[in-house]
Amino acid sequence: MTAIQPKTDTTAIVVRNPADGRVVGTVPIETSEAVAAKARELRLFQPEWAALGPRGRKRWLLKYQDWVLDNAEHIIDVVQSETGKTRADASGEPANTASLLDYWAGHAEQFLTDEHPRSFNPLAMTKKLTTTYRPYPVVGVITPWNFPFLMPGLDLVPALAAGAAVLLKPSEVTPLSAVEFVRGWTEIGAPPVLALATGYGATGAAVIANADFVQFTGSTATGRKVAVACAERLLPYSLELGGKDPALVLADADLDRAANGIAWGGMFNSGQVCVSVERVYVEAPVYDEFVAKLTANVRRLRQGQDDRTFAFDVGALATSAQRDIVQRHVDGAVAAGARVVTGGKPTGTGTFFEPTVLVDVDHSMACMTEETFGPTLPVVKVADEAEAIRLANDSVYGLSATVWTGDKERGERIARQLDVGAVNINDVLSNAFACDVPMGGWKQSGVGARWGGAAGVLKYCRPQAITSPRVPTQSKELLWYPTARRRVKFALGLLRASAARGVRRFGVAPRAAR
């Protein structure tokens, strides 16, 4: 779906700005041999990186954070050049990456600290127990095109903080931002534990063939292929996939805030956000007023290519294929009886599609069931809260949702009935700024999750158990050979006593079992 040119050239990808068709760069198509060679080199340097420990790695991550902040304007230029985003949409990418570097560099030491639980089982009570976390040597990070600088940062930063080396495969649509990402790492003189593999799906497949853990973000269709390839190698993986996120607007909501938030949540990044609002359910008593406010908000959005001026609200779509999907969803809905209240067609320039609000839609339409990933907001009138919840859950996806209500407790109660990985109450996208909580999709929106405090680093590690004696040892343990009834009875008696609930089961086994 993401091909941007006929694959006539087998050695290079020519990258174009989708807003105006200009050629903005070229990257090589890495062969599977080249990818394997990069992975081998990462394996050489990863042990030293791991040996630096979280404090040593923190120094490099913070030096890289400085580089990101110092080069932010240039990074934003590159992001805009290959995505056609507005300045505002592109500006968050380096800033959020810098924030993630701060978080994982600052917390990794605490998250990776060995644990020493006391044993529950009396037969292990004489042991010092340790759980230690050792990184996967090479983590493959495969990313999509919607946030080409930030998206690698979401996942490879905690992987590096864990002590893994990372092989990054960016989208063929937007590889230039990833080139910048890795250039910065090299420029600060950091250990060579971050490598780039550019190319199409075959290059991604080569990354899987050479990695020890795969972190994939992209469409559900490709995610399924990635899962199969990982299963073949018995590789652990984590998948962040597509979504069809519902917004539930209840009659007691602050309708101005809901209409402002949903306009932004649906149109930010031209709707090309995994957790953007893709469908809206509104309680009947406020439906007309809400639709009027939302339509007014969407109608006044300014659309265009603004370079560094911040003159526009909504930019281009990343590919013409993406624009065609949006058009198919809108045209299909209209053909089945939906009404366009604003927008509804391509602007005719580049890949721009007008910010669109649709009404009279239902779940027989692709715009309500398939991921659109574009600037459309289909709105449905529902009788009550129960119908809103039922329709919100009627989806193969389960990424995130928003609930708009004047009663926060009601919002939390509804959140717990929604089958999604995250719910934002009276806000949109807020969980995407909070790496302290997990960001993961349910159902066909993903497997596993990114972030979630300690879990965000520990997912890139293999937990290892170590036991060692806490008390002076004898020449034999109780259960070692030769078998002796007295010792076996004593050892297992201890276990039985500790597991017994009540005196009747404390001492000896019932007669029938002896």
Q: Which of 180, 240, 354, 385 is an active site residue?
A: 240
> Least distance in Å: CB of 446 to ligand NAD?
6
- Buried residues in 434-448 as b, exposed as e (16+ CB within 10 A): ebebbbbbbbbbbbb
254 to each of 15, 403, 435, 503, how far by Cα in Å? 44, 11, 28, 60
> Least distance in Å: CB of 163 to ligand NAD?
24
73 to each of 4, 307, 337, 472, how far by Cα in Å? 26, 11, 46, 63
Q: Which CB, 174 or 405, lies closer to ligand NAD?
A: 174
Q: Which CB, 146 or 270, lies closer to ligand NAD?
A: 146
Whose tokens are 């917390």? That residue is: 107
Q: Are 255 and 222 in contact (CB under 8 A)?
A: no
Q: What share of the chain is helix, strand, coil (3-state, %, to 5)?
A: 45, 20, 35
CA 439, distance to chain mean position in Å, is 6
**Residue whose beta carbon is closest to ligand NAD:** 204
Written as one string, the DSSP assignment of 420-472 is SSEEEESSSSGGGG-TTSEE--EETTEES-EESTHHHHHTTEEEEEEEEESS-
> Least distance in Å: CB of 433 to ligand NAD?
13
Q: Which CB, 272 or 297, lies closer to ligand NAD?
A: 272
The distance between the two most distant Cα atoms of the chain, rounded to a whole number of Å, is: 88
> Least distance in Å: CB of 8 to ligand NAD?
18
Q: Is 240 a catalytic residue?
A: yes
> Least distance in Å: CB of 322 to ligand NAD?
8
> Least distance in Å: CB of 426 to ligand NAD?
22
- Which residues of the shown chain bind ligand NAD in the complex (CB under 6 A)? 1-2, 142-146, 169-172, 200-201, 204-205, 208, 217-219, 222, 225-226, 240-243, 274, 371, 373, 399, 441, 446
Side chain identity, residue 235: L
Q: Which CB, 64 or 451, lies closer to ligand NAD?
A: 451
Q: How many CA atoms does the CB half-sphere of 66 hold within 13 Å?
A: 9
Q: Which CB, 100 or 208, lies closer to ligand NAD?
A: 208
> Least distance in Å: CB of 5 to ligand NAD?
14
CA distance 85 to 81: 8
Q: Which CB, 295 or 445, lies closer to ligand NAD?
A: 445
DSSP strands (E only) in 116-227: 127-135, 138-142, 165-169, 194-196, 213-217
Token duo for residue 438: 């997990």
Q: In what order do the strands lie in the sheet with 245-249?
A: 339-342, 356-359, 376-382, 277-283, 245-249, 400-404, 422-425
> Least distance in Å: CB of 397 to ligand NAD?
9
Q: Which CB, 101 or 447, lies closer to ligand NAD?
A: 447
Token duo for residue 420: 């999604």
Token duo for residue 250: 């209840």
Q: Which CB, 164 or 197, lies closer to ligand NAD?
A: 197
Query: Residue 51: is it exposed, middle or buried by C-beta count within 10 angstroms (0-12/13-18/19+)?
Result: exposed
Q: Are 389 and 418 in contact (CB under 8 A)?
A: yes
Residue positions annotated with a catalytic role: 240
